[in-house]
Structure 1
Amino acid sequence: MRGVYRSVRGHLLQRLIVKSRYAFNPGRPVEVVGYLSMVAGVGESARLCAVALSKAGRQIMLADVSTHPDEGKLVEWAPALASDGQPGSRIWHLNPPMLPRAILKMGLGNFARAFNIGYWAWELEVVPAEWRNAMHYMNAILVPSEFTRRAIAPLTSAPVIVVPHPVSERPAAEGIRQKFGIAEEAFLVSFIFSGGSSINRKNPQAAIEAFRQFSAECPDAFLLMKASGSPARDEALRRLMQSVEGDRNIRVITDNLASSEINGIIKESNVYLSLHRSEGFGLTVAEAIMHRTPVVSTAWSGTADFCDPDNTWLVEPLLIPVVDDHPEFADLKDAVWADPSPVAAAALLKGIYSDREAAKRKAEGARDYLLRHLAEHSYDKALLRLSAMQAS
């Protein structure tokens, strides 16, 4: 039944939605639509947008279309006061598979009465049919990286503008090492990922392999991986956790943590390690850089925009065909993604381990690089650009 729904959603519902003829009206509020009360990454994307627009002085409205709202204590965010009334534009922080349900929930007539902007985070160079079908009813599309823009822009006549997630250094809980039983003097390596967005794409197994090679020579090292998902329902996540059973210096946790605790893990780490196969942006990598944590990252896809080649530790990958059973990636032909070398990553970890003070100085430079990138590609500047396009 789920496969039938996906087919109807991708090929029928997407085509029933009519593109708005309303012009972009910068004088009216911007409505941010998304999974505002969900801990998922797409929900965080919407919350970051709302806060950034508020700080820029924009009047905003909020539309929460969450399918599975989480406990409020897990979702920590505070936008400025929202406006009432009819929005002039909407930013939909939902990828195309999520859009039909949300649009129908808000009403097709309501959808057509505003300038609609999609914020889409796609992770490959080949774009699925369902995403291409959704392009015909969006007035503009924002994307988190140049990598995603290059994939989407040739397929639509709508403006496609890069706006990275406006990450900032947010409060980090203290005592994280004590909470998870990690020695204060341990060399802590961390990685945070969601099992629901394809474990194969996030590639935690490569991080484990790299860490094992590195820790063979550095026995005081510890790898802490925070996964979102349930091993009882996710076989791939369960296999991953089983693969580290018996390793005293590797731990994979699936606890529900507040965002301040997630930030605490990142901030207390000596290295953040992401050997992803592909990212539309790479939110946790950017958050690690913002917290001045040295970053080892795959040198491909969305993270390439903001990972300073002089001040982050990059693993140049081979590109291999995408093989994945995730519904978003299963039927894509000619798609490739990265295959970063655990051996190369282990060597970079050893280099950071051997000169931690130099690594801290480089991490500060990486943060400066990220801040410049964010300032140059803000939501406010994207909306000003849309206004200028319309005026011309």
Structure 2
Amino acid sequence: MVSLLPLLHRIWRLFPAQARRRVYEKATTAVSSKATWTEKTPREPAEPFIVAGALSAPTGLGEAARQLLYGLIAGGYRVSAIDLSKDLAQKSMIPLPDLPPPSTGPGTLLLAVQPPNVGHALTLIGRPMLADKLRIGCWVWDLEVLPESWIEQSRLVHALAGPSRFCTETFARHMDLPVRLLRYPIGIAQAPLAPRGKSGTLRFGAAMDLGSTAARKNPLAVLQAYRQAFRHGDAVTLSIKLRDVGADPAMFAQLQTLAATDGPPVEVLSGDFPPARMEEWWRGLDVFVSLHRSEGFGLLPAEAMLRGIPVISTDWSATAEYISLETGWPVPVTLVPVIDATGRYELAGARWAEPDLTAAVEAMKGAARNHEEVSRRGAASVEAAQRIFSLEQLQAGLGLEARIRQHVE
């Protein structure tokens, strides 16, 4: 018997992406278990915990889920994991710790999966596991307004948590649910400090996921500011690390073309790096640059700070909450209406930041002139990151008492 699935799949792909997304959202929401309260459902976060998400995926959301998991392990809490990477069509390549299997009955589910995939994720977890669980959606959004699908799928959880005040304030404005500030505890394990360049060359770096849209991540601005700041022969380099270049091959090609033109050296790297190679890339940097237009958190700038790498960053949205003149170079902005060719962020009334390119150029020049200041701000970055993204902040966000801290690799 000939399967009709390939033909049906080809027909499905003929529909516009936005239409397919809406059908997927509606269908998975309709069949998923709604968040209801039972007598056994905890009213506040309580053990045992389950962290569910694309835990082994090499993505920002995957790393966010892992950090929640590592934080609960470090705090000595009873915690299990449900890795949904392959089920959500994500690459699975990051090893996870061995943990007890999740158990049914009362407890807390930290769902690090966000719309449009919430309904699908809950269906995969299954009704028996969800029964009597407090469901907290650990979500990240990058604008001050929300898509309608986020509001619809919020009915599938009891509460929400966001990693920044920028996120939590947006959630609270648009959804009638309890909202918690839940910082990712990236500071619980000391990351290797990036060594300063010994050759006198100042090494700039930028990294981003083109699947999160080039319009928001704004990689061209980094390259343009760098080329305006320096000339051929200046003691500087720039490394741009990209993932999911297939989401925007035109942007990838444009960056490669511009990098190859005459001027100070630029390398453009792509792909999913395993942890050891990613750590090697971090070790090759002195200053990290993120001229994004908006961030719900900004994991990579935070990770740079933890490694003693100060950050030149757009002074708006979540990164403005933890990057200051003490720890980096905040770049002034002008707020403008969102223009995003993918349509993901073009919502009614949506705005984001246009970073001041002249200010970014001056920040780069200033860093190149004063390596001692780079080192000073780098040291301040480590202290700030360890304080802001600590186990204690995670415990406060969940309303948990401190436990004996465990060793985390």
Does the alignment reach a TM-score above 0.5?
yes
Q: Given the superposition, is the C-alpha separation of residues 348 and 175 from structure 1 closer, same or farther in structure 2, using an over 3 Å criterion?
A: closer
Counterpart mapping for 1:54-65 below 5 A: 54-65=73-84
Q: 1:261 aligns with which of 260, 264, 277?
A: 277
After superposition, the C-alpha distances for 1:321-347 in whole angstroms (9 at most, x for unaligned) are 1010234214x0111111002221110
Q: 1:317 aligns with which of 333, 352, 358?
A: 333
* Matched pairs, number: 377
Match of residue 348 from structure 2? 333
Contact 2:210 2:247 in 1 (8 A): no
Match of residue 53 from structure 2? 34
Unaligned runs of 5+ in 1: 178-182, 387-392
Contact 1:164 1:377 in 2 (8 A): no
State the distance in 2 between where 1:54 and 1:154 align: 32
Q: TM-score, normalised by structure 2?
A: 0.84
1:37 shift after superposition = 1.8
State the distance in 1 between where 2:259 and 2:50 align: 45
Counterpart mapping for 1:203-218 below 5 A: 203-216=218-231
1:101 shift after superposition = 1.7
1:188 shift after superposition = 0.8
Q: Given the superposition, is the C-alpha separation of residues 69 and 176 from structure 1 closer, same or farther in structure 2, using an over 3 Å criterion?
A: farther
Determine whether 1:156 maps to 2:175. yes
Match of residue 265 from structure 2? 249
Determine whether 1:382 maps to 2:401. no
State the distance in 2 between where 1:176 and 1:362 align: 13
Counterpart mapping for 1:168-187 below 5 A: 168=187, 184-187=199-202
| AA aligned opposite 1:229 | D
Q: 1:282 aligns with which of 278, 282, 298?
A: 298
State the distance in 2 between where 1:307 and 1:189 align: 17
Match of residue 85 from structure 1? 103
State the distance in 1 between where 2:55 and 2:357 align: 36
Determine whether 1:348 maps to 2:363. yes
| AA aligned opposite 1:191 | A
Calculate percent identity across the aligned residue pairs.
26
Q: Given the superposition, is the C-alpha separation of residues 232 and 95 from structure 1 closer, same or farther in structure 2, using an over 3 Å criterion?
A: closer
1:16 shift after superposition = 4.8
More deviation, 37-46/367-376: 367-376
Determine whether 1:194 maps to 2:215. no
State the distance in 2 between where 1:232 and 1:35 align: 19
Determine whether 1:116 maps to 2:131. no
Match of residue 406 from structure 2? none
Q: 1:98 aligns with which of 110, 113, 117?
A: 117
Contact 1:28 1:88 in 2 (8 A): yes
Unaligned runs of 5+ in 2: 1-14, 402-409
Q: Given the superposition, is the C-alpha separation of residues 357 and 185 from structure 1 closer, same or farther in structure 2, using an over 3 Å criterion?
A: closer
Match of residue 70 from structure 2? 51
State the distance in 1 between where 2:103 and 2:120 align: 23
Match of residue 235 from structure 1? 250
Contact 1:19 1:112 in 2 (8 A): no
